[in-house]
Amino acid sequence: MAVESSNNTKVTIRDRVDVDHPVRILLVEDDLVNQKVIRGLLRIVGLTAEVAGNGALALDMMRSNEPYDLVLMDINMPVMNGLQAMTAMRDDEKLKYTPVIAVTTNVDNQGRMECFAAGANAFVSKPVMPADFYAALKEWLPANGIVWPELTHSTDSDQAQEQDLASLQLIDELKAIEGLDMSACYALFQSDYGAFVGYLKQFLDSHSHDANKINQAVADHDSQTATRIAHTVKGLAGTLGLFKLQEISLQLEKKLHQDIRDFSVLTDLQQFEHHLQQIKHQVDNLSFFKRQPASQGNSLADEEMKVVISQLIQLLKEYDSLSIQLWEEYLDHFKALLGNAEAAAVAEDIDNMNFPAAAESLQQIFDKFGKAR
């Protein structure tokens, strides 16, 4: 079952959304790609989330800040995992009634029972599907001001008539990637191929050295670290429809968990590395990343783009996480202005929280519009 709920009482839910009393959500997730996927789903319904990279940071934030209405909790994380964090929450008078939705790839019965025993109110499995995710939000975050989307289930034939030649070429290239199921693009990204390949590339760039990390962990007899890395790749591969990589990662995870000294682990690790690098090579060479920006690629008026860039620069200078949302919202326009390569460099600065560098790059663009510093 993709989404389940426990009988834990919900007592801190707000029943409406307004500008004076916005919904506060904390996303506890260590992987940047998963963070972006979930924050993207939240953004569709007008919600935002603060982010903590592990359970310990999440507890600090919950104890120090105003109460959160909902916590979205990953389970497998470094420093402190989700089960430990939820257990600590239920022992804390301030946090014991805060609703928690566990979001994890541990989909077997034991994994679900562990989540509920630790204090989860609901369970959503990875890969996160929009329908399941929104169903859980509706139950534990009933807000009159939220407009829930009508999700489409597009297929190749549904989309073919609406695609330009460049998009059709990209679709064909994606279909050529071994083990990639395009249903992830249709379901999670609503056939936004640009967003989909952007997430693919970030995932592969972020995890391209994971085989080396696992190999080092094996040499150090560090089963926990090796297993966690394989587990993370397994979950992300499933989210992005890379089902062959997901299967390979699952097999590797099981071997690492059972006996890290088993010689067959090295064979599985070689297969993992080979397939991961093969996919990365194909994605790096997609036509999407080689296009030259059109001379009039920005459909917004110059004056409107001036406002957007100015707002983004200010948010970056203030280290405001809303800068990430604004950047992603206007990403296509920035690509048209900068070209894919330069836009990717700014995106990397933003993803790595190097906001000053991103602000400096965008200030240069702003100056090109004839605005002095």
Digit-coded pLDDT (tens) for 118-160: 999 999 988 888 888 999 999 998 666 677 776 655 444 444 4
- pLDDT top residue among 4 and 326: 326
The b/e string for 288-313 (b: 16+ C-beta within 10 A; e otherwise) is: beeeebeeeebeeeeeebbebbeebb
> Please, what are the domains in the chain?
3-140 (3.40.50.2300), 169-289 (1.20.120.160), 302-368 (no CATH)
With contact defined as beta carbons under 8 Å apart, do 74 and 111 qualify? no
The average pLDDT across 65-77 equals 93
Q: What is the pLDDT of residue 21?
A: 62
Average pLDDT, the chain: 81
Cα distance between residue 370 and residue 364, in whole Å: 10
Residue 17 has pLDDT above 70, yes or no: no
Per the structure block, which two tokens stand in for 198?
Answer: 């952007």
**C-alpha triplet 299, 171, 232: angle, nearest 5°:** 100
Name the residue with tokens 């919950």. Answer: 62
Maximum mean pLDDT: which of 13-17, 232-236, 244-248: 244-248
Q: What is the pLDDT of residue 162?
A: 45
Q: What is the pLDDT of residue 222?
A: 93
- Which of 21-25, 245-249, 255-259 has the least mean pLDDT? 21-25
The average pLDDT across 290-317 equals 62
pLDDT-derived band at 48 (thresholds 50, 70, 90) equals: confident
With contact defined as beta carbons under 8 Å apart, do 189 and 229 qualify? no
Please report, rounded to a whole number, the percentage of residues in the chain having pLDDT higher than 70: 80
- Which of 6-20, 150-164, 180-194 has the least mean pLDDT? 6-20
List 102's β-bridge partners, or say none: 73, 123
Cα distance between residue 346 and residue 364, in whole Å: 12
- Which of 3-7, 75-79, 179-183 has the least mean pLDDT? 3-7
Q: What is the pLDDT of residue 373?
A: 38
Going by C-beta distance under 8 Å and a sequence separation of 6 or more, which residues neighbour residue 34? 74, 126, 235, 236, 239
Neighbours of 108 (CB within 10 A): 9
Furthest-apart CA atoms within the chain: distance in Å: 64
Q: What is the pLDDT of residue 15?
A: 42
Residues for the chain: how many in total?
373
Q: What is the pLDDT of residue 314?
A: 76
Please report, rounded to a whole number, the percentage of residues in the chain having pLDDT higher than 90: 38
- pLDDT top residue among 369 and 44: 44
End-to-end Cα spacing for the chain = 55
